[in-house]
Amino acid sequence: MPTFGLLALGALLRGALLTQDAVWAGIEKLIFWVLLPCLIATALGGAALASLPVGTMATALWAALAVGTVASIALARALRHTPAAMTSVLQGGIRFNNLMGFALAGAIWGLPGTALAAVATGLIVPFVQVTATLAFALKDGGRVRPLRLLRQVLLNPLIIGVLAGFLFSALGGLPPGLSRMVQVLGQASVALGLLCVGAALTMAGLALRPGSQAATAALKLGAMPGLTWALCTLLGLAPEPTAIAVLFMALPTASTSYVMARAMGGDAPLMAAITTSQHLLSVLTLPIWVWLLKG
């Protein structure tokens, strides 16, 4: 209820009180560049590195994402989409809303869940960013620049937060005064982030290519978490990291997918429709996955 309640409140605020786009753009920038990296660094900084199953989680998540990438491209081709529309299906199939993931992981699994959520974020973000960037570069026969791609990944604030968290963990944690300040900043990211996600959703394009929306949602909200669970079980991953890995793969696509589609020549209207429909459907699917994982 708190997670989806904040999404609904964000949509209400966007329509009734904070109607200016610049307000939400500023809040989103603050969350992406400052607040969420602080949450990640705090969660990892207080964790014991040896206790985190990073290697096994990486194997399960990256294998699932690789299959999801191939499945998304095959789905787009089966639906006879243009290259631009294919990038929207791809983003809808493999990207994830990490703010919802942190909110749920922390609320249900506590501090250990938040630390594992930071690990999952650090593993998923580089894969999906590289894959999406390559898809946009190649859709019109463009050229890939490896150094530029590497720079984009390394300068991603979420990756910086993960690296800082691992560094602080190796050093025994953040300094006492700094630790509390970073912790407070990180706590602000969840509520503000969910409000921004709700404000970004739009009902205007839900009638656009409903078959594509439904197929992409079935892949992202059903097949991807199911595949991840199977891989985690096969690899012998413990129940709690398995739960976090599956939860993050069951999340709807990132609300920033629309921004990327618009900026890089993708099918922005289709991306907006996929983003909104997945968030609406996740009201039904996420509680089911959480119930199964808790069991």
Q: Is the pLDDT of residue 64 over 90?
A: yes
Question: How many Å apart are CA 16 and CA 132, to the nearest integer?
Answer: 34
Q: Is the pLDDT of residue 132 over 90?
A: no
Question: How many Å apart are CA 267 and CA 251, to the nearest integer?
Answer: 21
Lowest mean pLDDT among 77-91, 140-154, 252-266, 280-294: 140-154
Q: Which of 50, 40, 90, 76 is nearest to 261 (CA)?
A: 90
> pLDDT-based confidence at 144, cuts 50/70/90?
low
> pLDDT-based confidence at 135, cuts 50/70/90?
confident
- Could you identify the residue written with the tokens 């993050």? 248
Conformational region of residue 173, where left means phi above 0, alpha means psi within -120 to 50, and beta covers everything else: left
Q: What is the pLDDT of residue 205?
A: 75
Structural domains counted in the chain: 1
Residue 274 maps to which CATH number?
1.20.1530.20
Question: How many Å apart are CA 55 and CA 170, to the nearest integer?
Answer: 17
Q: What is the pLDDT of residue 143?
A: 66
Q: Which of 201, 219, 178 is nearest to 68 (CA)?
A: 219
Q: Report percent pLDDT > 90 for the chain.
A: 43
What contacts 249, CB < 8 A, 6 or more positions away? 61, 64, 96, 224, 225, 227, 228
Question: How many Å apart are CA 114 and CA 121, to the nearest integer?
Answer: 10
Torsion angle defined by CA atoms of residues 96, 246, 105 and 88, in that order, rounded to the nearest 10 degrees: 10
Question: How many Å apart are CA 124 and CA 148, to the nearest integer?
Answer: 19
Q: Report percent pLDDT > 70 for the chain.
A: 98
Query: Which two structure tokens, joined as six digits, stand for 218?
Result: 């079935």
Do residues 136 and 266 make contact, with C-beta atoms less than 8 angstroms apart? yes
What contacts 268, CB < 8 A, 6 or more positions away? 88, 258, 261, 262
Helix axes 98-138, 176-200, angle to 10 degrees: 70
CA 224 to chain centre: 13
CA distances in angstroms from 274 to 85, 93, 106, 204, listed in the order given: 11, 10, 26, 12
> pLDDT-based confidence at 215, cuts 50/70/90?
very high
Q: Is the pLDDT of residue 91 over 90?
A: yes
Q: Is residue 295 part of a domain?
A: no
Q: Is residue 209 part of a domain?
A: yes
Average pLDDT over residues 197-213: 83
Question: How many Å apart are CA 165 and CA 80, to the nearest integer?
Answer: 43
Q: What is the pLDDT of residue 79?
A: 92
| Mean predicted lDDT score pLDDT of the chain | 88
pLDDT in tens, 242-278: 999 999 999 999 888 887 787 777 888 899 899 999 9
Q: What is the pLDDT of residue 105?
A: 93
Q: What is the pLDDT of residue 86?
A: 94
Do residues 57 and 241 make contact, with C-beta atoms less than 8 angstroms apart? yes
Domain that holds residue 35: 2-289
Q: Is residue 225 part of a domain?
A: yes
Q: Is the pLDDT of residue 27 over 80?
A: yes
Q: Is the pLDDT of residue 69 over 90?
A: yes
Conformational region of residue 209, where left means phi above 0, alpha means psi within -120 to 50, and beta covers everything else: left
Q: Is residue 217 part of a domain?
A: yes
Lowest mean pLDDT among 81-95, 107-121, 124-138: 124-138
Alpha helices in 171-209 (DSSP H): 176-200
Q: Is the pLDDT of residue 81 over 80?
A: yes
> pLDDT-based confidence at 216, cuts 50/70/90?
very high
The amino acid sitting at 157 is P
Claim: this prediction has a pTM higher than 0.75: yes
pLDDT in tens, 31-57: 888 998 898 888 888 777 778 898 999
Q: What is the pLDDT of residue 113?
A: 92
Q: Is the pLDDT of residue 196 over 90?
A: no
Q: Is the pLDDT of residue 140 over 80?
A: no
Phi, psi for residue 99 in degrees, rounded to 5: -65, -40
